[in-house]
Structure 1
Amino acid sequence: MDSLPAEDLCQMVEIALSALVNVMNQETTLLRAGHMRKAGVLTPEKTRLAQDYVGFARSVQRQSARLAVEAPDAVARLRQGHERLATQMAENLRVLATARMVTEDLLTDVAKVVGQQNRARAYGRAGTIAVDPSSSARGIAVNRAL
């Protein structure tokens, strides 16, 4: 990549950058709409595009002096594109954090309700219903990979 003409290298980086921003935008939109599975389908593509972009970005860093002389307008476009990526990443991370929090809250609430349904209801010595903590719900786990 380092030996490519400046304009060609910058154009390849712009294409990769645009594709990454677009897939992150799609993922963010799906997550906001509550379509977790559909958003998950985008993960391999997002990962591949991010790896491509990082490779290109390293090449641009190594060639920064040459690119600044040979293609200053393209370098300026890359900076703007990188700012768009940073903005999209921040929004994507906010939505992911919200989705994770909602999922954890939902699963915690489900576990509590299931645990309440499975409790044995018996009167204790004081004439009140005794709560057996060992009879609460078991087997519900929260996947924190989201």
Structure 2
Amino acid sequence: MTAAARLNALDTLPADELCQLAATALAALVDVMNQETTLLRAGHLRQASVLTPDKARLAQDYVGFARSVQRQTERLKRDAPQAIDRLRHGHEALATQMAENLRVLATARNVTEDILTDVAQIVGQQNKARAYGRAGTITADPASSARGIAVNRAL
């Protein structure tokens, strides 16, 4: 089936059916994002990362339905006004969940980077030759502190 045929099939669905499909995709996306947020808050980064493919698929599904709803807004307002209102409220819940999810992701990323930076500095200090400088203190070379440590910024 071509992309145009898929779009046409979505756009010609009965109003209630299209809204229900969009609402189901929306609820599933909010649910998986909530699961991810909960796992991240608990520090279970690997378990949270397992949800990424589902989250991406659900987001793609929802965007497809949402675009169809946008294209068919006038018809849907006329034929299924309550369903449109439920979708609007669901979309607001998604926006709230996304903001929370992004906040927790940013926090987890910052904490991870801070830990890795601290580890890199400690490892670099342990491997550094100790010598006294002109002032009679041990000199530190900050450029060598991260030698041998790599940071994966994929999170």
| Band of TM-score, shorter chain | over 0.9
Alignment of 1:96 onto 2:128 = no
Instruction: Quote the residue 1:109 is aligned against.
Output: 118
Measured at CA, do residues 87 and 113 of structure 1 come closer, stay the same or move farther in structure 2, by a change above 3 Å? same
**Counterpart secondary structure, 2:152:** coil
Query: Could you tell me which amino acid in structure 1 is paired with residue 46 of structure 2?
Result: R
Distance across 2 between alignment mates of 1:138 and 1:46: 36
Measured at CA, do residues 113 and 41 of structure 1 come closer, stay the same or move farther in structure 2, by a change above 3 Å? same
Structure 1: any 5+ residue segments left out of the alignment?
none
Structure 2: any 5+ residue segments left out of the alignment?
1-9
* 112-121 or 29-38: bigger deviation: 112-121
* 116-125 or 27-36: bigger deviation: 116-125
C-alpha displacement at 1:44, in angstroms? 0.2
Kept after mapping to 2: 8 A contact 1:120/1:131? no
Instruction: Quote the residue 1:120 is aligned against.
Output: 129
Alignment of 1:21 onto 2:38 = no
Alignment of 1:79 onto 2:88 = yes
C-alpha displacement at 1:122, in angstroms? 2.7
Could you say what the CA RMSD is over the residues aligned between the two structures, in angstroms? 1.5
Instruction: Quote the residue 1:68 is aligned against.
Output: 77
Provide the identity percentage: 77
Aligned residue pairs, count: 146
Distance across 2 between alignment mates of 1:89 and 1:30: 15
Residue by residue, what CA displacement relative to the aligned partner does 1:124-144 show, whole Å, maximum 9, x if unpaired? 466443445565341212222
Measured at CA, do residues 26 and 3 of structure 1 come closer, stay the same or move farther in structure 2, by a change above 3 Å? same
Distance across 2 between alignment mates of 1:138 and 1:28: 33
Kept after mapping to 2: 8 A contact 1:13/1:53? yes
Distance across 2 between alignment mates of 1:96 and 1:144: 12
TM-score scaled by length of structure 1: 0.93
Measured at CA, do residues 130 and 92 of structure 1 come closer, stay the same or move farther in structure 2, by a change above 3 Å? closer
